[in-house]
Amino acid sequence: MASSTVEDYLKQIYLEQQLLEGNVPSGRIAELMEVAPGTATSMLKTLEKSGLVVYKSRNGARLTENGEALAIHVLRRHRLIEQFLVEVLEYDWGEVHEEAELLEHVISEKLLGKIDHHLGYPEVDPHGDPIPSAAGILRQRELIPLAACSKGQKIKIARILNQGKKFLDYLSERELLPGAIVVVEDVDEIADAITVKTASGDSFFLGVRTAADILVQQN
């Protein structure tokens, strides 16, 4: 079994690879793991010896097939736990990340399977992040940032990228949650802002940077 530290490195590298669509610089990995660059380099060399990453000092690191499979499995554990905490134990969606970070390393496969069954095999977690299947398959969706939408579009909020508690509380107060249907009332290019109207009839003015962290699908 991989250690919790190894699992954390693999998960962070996997998530960053999805954003960069390529190798992840070792300096960026150190930043994500909140460790000194030398510490990250030592771990990357260890992961390479274990066949979990391909690492070159100048090119950074990328996961091997085995490394990616393990990273996806860690994501499955993390996101299923988050969904369970919110749906069953009624945790606030802004509080579940740290709990899941701890539990993802100790939960048994038997318990994970029972949680998955109890929840009805959910495809996304409370933030809209896809939950890998038991076979390691991630369902892909066609999503775009809210900031890229046009005036008059009716859209469904699908995924929240910024999962800091303050940001999630901000969205909760405005009912801008995954699954919510909103209409883009206005796009102000000069002010770099977008105005959306919720199903309850309330309108909210969002900066483009905020809107970029909200992914949507056309309804």
Q: Residue 28 pLDDT > 80, yes or no?
A: yes
pLDDT (mean) for 9-21: 92
Complete edge-to-edge strand list for the sheet that includes strand 214-218: 144-145, 214-218, 154-160, 181-188, 193-197, 203-207
Q: What is the pTM of this model?
A: 0.90
Task: State the DSSP code for 140.
Answer: -
Domains parsed from the chain with CATH numbers? 4-63 (1.10.10.10), 144-218 (2.30.30.90)
Question: Cα–Cα distance between 154 and 52 in angstroms, integer?
Answer: 43
The predicted-structure confidence for 105-122, as pLDDT tens digits, reads as follows 999 999 999 999 999 999
**Amino acid at residue number 77:** R
pLDDT (mean) for 170-193: 94
Predicted pLDDT at 2: 77
Provide, rounded to the nearest whole percent, the portion of the chain with pLDDT above 70: 99
**Residue whose structure tokens are 């890229």:** 148
Residue 93 · residue 162 · CB < 8 Å:
no
Helix (H, G, I), strand (E, B) or coil at 175: coil
Which residues 6+ apart lie within 8 Å of 105 measured at CB? 4, 7
Angle, to 10 degrees, between the axis of helix 37-49 and the axis of helix 4-20?
100
Question: Cα–Cα distance between 12 and 67 in angstroms, integer?
Answer: 11
Question: Cα–Cα distance between 124 and 132 in angstroms, integer?
Answer: 9
Predicted pLDDT at 1: 62
The predicted-structure confidence for 49-70, as pLDDT tens digits, reads as follows 999 999 998 889 999 999 999 9
